Structure 1
């Protein structure tokens, strides 16, 4: 219903004219350099990202997917480019991005661990192929639903009906490749998840992806967007690099939010009403994702049905985890976001510690 048909004539038209006038059912997502649509390619349901030609580096970065084949990575089927636009055609499993799931459900610890293990597996494979993703965040993790998956490694008693796939390689680079980032505020990637070395425009490594994963792990637990009290990316970048600000430092975030120009009368004194619109547009960057009544007014029934459908995939057979296990999870993500890259957990260490939590939470001998 409403999918783009990606036969040769249609692809040539898209490469020349760009995205069609979208309908609501067609669009899967929007990014800084393009829009992702539902589509049909060779009789299969796919996703197609239509990228503007001036974002040639994004197309180059997406091409890193051509040599990657892993169960936890969205598969690239075809990449085409022309003078005006480029097309990235990818598999499109049935499911939702992790951000929408976090918006809807409070995930049990067991599933937060399983999701993180999937992403760790994807990153370990990318790194083994000399590719850094550099934009790990919940909106770039697709949760494919209805897929029977039994266990992680030797944990055969842990069962689930989903698998997570890392997607959107538009910010990826090959290890050792020069990364032309002149300004971290406008760089590829998402500033609120970027490591201090990325913000300083230093050389990047596997540890840069681990940092972003640590921020994502925190978000799965806290159900808030990173630095949700702050609107100003420049402030966030400065505080992360110079003062080691992290999203769990609520006291410091509150102080910074009170000192922020967006919370003063400066714009009104200067007659600038645009800031009012800006703050309204960025309410989602600060809101608590715990589905408070004011946010769900008028949408309760629809959201309840969606929540109930999703909850079927994220039931936990284990009892509620102890505070000790939650603290162990918190300790892990904090070990991923320390400032010095060499002091962060490696992907191997992170995998091992996550499996220990999984073992303890399910009392697997």
Structure 2
């Protein structure tokens, strides 16, 4: 069954009058060197030419070799072949406890679908129209994305099998900030930046994934109030900005706070907090609790002290005191000569 949310929520306004629910796909174009990119279709609408970067319909007969690679609170991810290329397929499932939140999560996944950047996972197609042979009653919709790989930063940080020296964590953190700068420049706030939501490609490039908590701010707005109708806003409590915990407005600075916690994890390879969840939430807001930088040797070097200063700015309790992603990039660059 298609979602009751209207198709106008899924497609740009200049496209939805001509939506063909039958077969409207953006095929992958295979290049001679073996790589695949998305071919942008061009349509003539009411005498105008319009284009979009992703499709509202999936050619289900072209899907092959689906293999499960992971699952989360709102869906399962599969590796598959689509039109001759490897893709990731995400089924967004209904949450029996909060059906509204799971539906909102699906639409939030598409907030960055029209954007293209090397540090953001690319959406190829998305639809709520799923044939019985591919779907199930618990599925709200399906999203096809580029297949980045099976590794994420969470696995690299805590798996301990791979070295994570200064050059590597600095490169990873710079990748994340480049992605955030691009998202924020297009008024998209991710709201769930954490190591598990940063995929690492075979070329060792970080790509921001999982936009299920994201919000699209009004054009030209730097902050948006949290609507009481939005059940999915929040993200992971260990990385959630204090203003979100207090129910205040959403701004790109919430992502900067989450990045600060993620950067600390990249450097220390430790868990940010221990103890009861509610105690941590209360302490973050009321007592300015943050991950420890005092007793870790990695923060005692000259570079470590600069990192401590950078972290304290990123996870400031006041959003206005945090740097923007644009301001973070040169600050990260300043760490490089110290290696």
The Cα shift of 1:9 comes to 5.0
1:210 to 256, 267, 279: 256
339-348 or 91-100, which deviates more: 91-100
Query: Aligned partners of 2:299 and 2:249: how far apart in 1?
Result: 39
Partner in structure 2 of residue 165 of structure 1: 207
Number of residue equivalences: 258
1:60–1:182 Cα change, 3 Å: closer
Question: What aligned pairs does 1:106-185 form with structure 2 within 5 A after superposition?
Answer: 106-145=163-202, 147=203, 162-176=204-218, 179-180=226-227
The Cα shift of 1:51 comes to 0.8
Query: Aligned partners of 2:333 and 2:316: how far apart in 1?
Result: 21
The Cα shift of 1:354 comes to 0.6
The Cα shift of 1:7 comes to 4.8
Task: Check the 8 A contact 1:218/1:333 in 2, yes or no.
Answer: yes
Query: Aligned partners of 2:210 and 2:262: how far apart in 1?
Result: 15
Query: Aligned partners of 1:329 and 1:353: how far apart in 2?
Result: 10
Query: Aligned partners of 1:182 and 1:97: how far apart in 2?
Result: 31
What are the ranges of 5 or more consecutive residues in structure 2 without an aligned counterpart?
A: 1-57, 130-136, 219-223
Task: Check the 8 A contact 1:49/1:87 in 2, yes or no.
Answer: yes
Query: Aligned partners of 1:345 and 1:106: how far apart in 2?
Result: 29
Task: Check the 8 A contact 2:153/2:200 in 1, yes or no.
Answer: yes
1:245–1:116 Cα change, 3 Å: same
Query: Aligned partners of 1:171 and 1:187: how far apart in 2?
Result: 5
Q: TM-score, normalised by structure 1?
A: 0.65
**Greater share of helix residues, 1 or 2?**
1
Partner in structure 2 of residue 29 of structure 1: 70
The Cα shift of 1:165 comes to 0.6
What are the ranges of 5 or more consecutive residues in structure 1 without an aligned counterpart?
A: 1-5, 12-22, 148-161, 252-319
Partner in structure 2 of residue 61 of structure 1: 108
Query: Aligned partners of 1:189 and 1:322: how far apart in 2?
Result: 31
1:244–1:106 Cα change, 3 Å: farther
1:139–1:44 Cα change, 3 Å: same
* Structure 1 residues 318-348: Cα deviation after superposition (integer angstroms, max 9, x where no partner): xx99810122122212210010001112222
Q: TM-score, normalised by structure 2?
A: 0.70
- Asked if 1:44 corresponds to 2:101, the answer is no
Query: Aligned partners of 1:250 and 1:50: how far apart in 2?
Result: 43
- Asked if 1:102 corresponds to 2:149, the answer is no
1:76 to 100, 109, 123: 123
SS of the equivalent of 2:78 reads strand
Task: Check the 8 A contact 1:181/1:187 in 2, yes or no.
Answer: no
- Asked if 1:239 corresponds to 2:291, the answer is no
SS of the equivalent of 2:323 reads coil
